[in-house]
Amino acid sequence: MNRAEILVIDDEAAIQKLLEITLESNGFMVKLAKTAKEGFVVAANHPPDLIILDLGLPDESGHAVLVKLREWFTNPVIILSALANEENIVKALDNGANDYLVKPFRTGELLARIRSALRGSINAGNTPVIHCGNIQIDLLLRVVKKDDVVVKLTVTEYSLLSLFAKNEGKVLTHQYLLKEVWGPGYINQSQYLRVFIAQLRKKIEADANRPEIIVTESGIGYRFVVKE
């Protein structure tokens, strides 16, 4: 992978320094912004491959910044915030964040989430075949294989799996999945999702009772994980 460029929008000097040292020592190029205004300018002039965004900025709410970014910025955005409540996490994910980490955080976990988000942004392009570990999804032929063996999926199961694969590493909320697969009128029908997630796990997981590919994010949604 070429050196990806990451923009950090955070007003805490200690966090900025920690991220700058950590990211650069792991092969990333880093740009820093302390305010929403600075972040918009940097992102607009030279769009980075990924943005790390704090919600507690001095001049504007991080949630508002995220909404504005998503009007034109299509690369991954990871929220890094001290706000740990479910309401803020779900709001950020529904507004287009790829992931959400709570401060204080482990640098190893952040790096893993960054790599996952960058892989997911490649998958989200017009790639006709998506490879996710031992799972292969041909978007043109609508064929799914596990260990080179064709997996028989219903139309709904395929829609769910392809949506997950295109957003590999990203937390997808219950409401988002229901809206995208079943339609806006089904966003409160969580039982539909539970049933089809269970069916998918039986078909693609090594052990459906201990899922490692479609991972539950308690109270929020699911994440499609590819082992490195």
Domain identity same for 18 and 105: yes
Please identify which residue in the block is written with the tokens 């964040």: 97
The verdict on 173 and 214 lying in the same domain is yes
- The domain total for the chain is 2
Weakly modelled stretches of the chain, pLDDT under 70: 1-2, 121-127, 227-228
Which among 72, 89, 123 is the end of a domain? 123
* The last residue of a domain, from among 74, 92, 123: 123
Same domain? For 25 and 114 the reply is: yes
Backbone φ/ψ region at 18: left (φ over 0), alpha (ψ -120 to 50), beta:
alpha
9 and 114 in a common domain: yes
Whether 114 and 12 map to the same domain: the answer is yes
The residue among 91, 107, 123 that closes a domain is 123
Tell me what pLDDT residue 129 has: 81
Regarding whether 137 and 109 lie in a shared domain, the answer is: no
Q: Are 114 and 159 members of one domain?
A: no
pLDDT, tens digit, for every residue of 60-104?
999 999 999 999 998 999 999 999 898 999 999 989 898 999 998
- The percent of residues above 90 in pLDDT, for the chain, comes to 61
Which domain range does residue 33 map to? Answer: 5-123
How high is the pLDDT of residue 1?
45
Residue with tokens 């539909």: 192
Question: Rounded to the nearest 10 degrees, what angle do helices 107-123 and 155-166 cross at?
Answer: 120
Q: Which CATH number belongs to the domain containing residue 98 in this structure? A: 3.40.50.2300
pLDDT at 89: 93
pTM for the full predicted model: 0.74
